[in-house]
Amino acid sequence: MADSAVVANARRTGSPCESLSEMNQSSADVAAELPERGVQWVKDQVETVLSETEDYVRERPAQSLLWAFVAGYILNRLPLGRILSGLLRLLMVAAKPAVLIYGAAKLYQSAQEEQRG
């Protein structure tokens, strides 16, 4: 009802106005192509970074080799296994209170539903 009133008013005043269903369709189309545009933007950014990196390496090969060596050395010395195991232990320690709080909330919710019913 309001849709037809908007369209009729737009036709009378001469302003270009789409109907609400056309607007909904166009917004759905925009929402559908948004992820595609995001993926395309990321691809463009990655290609830009790769081309800039290639240019940098071609201009300064010795410095690039030094930076690659330093990065490899640092990554080799990082205790990634210990870091990941520490994060896993922290997650397990934090999960116990989280499960307890979740169970208490469900118990409270169940008690509230029994009081109502």
Widest CA span of the chain, in angstroms? Answer: 77
pLDDT band at 2 (very low <50, low <70, confident <90, very high): very low
Residue 24 has pLDDT above 90, yes or no: no
DSSP 34-67: HHHHHHHHHHHHHHHHHHHHHHHHHH-HHHHHHH
% the chain with pLDDT above 90: 50
pLDDT at 116: 86
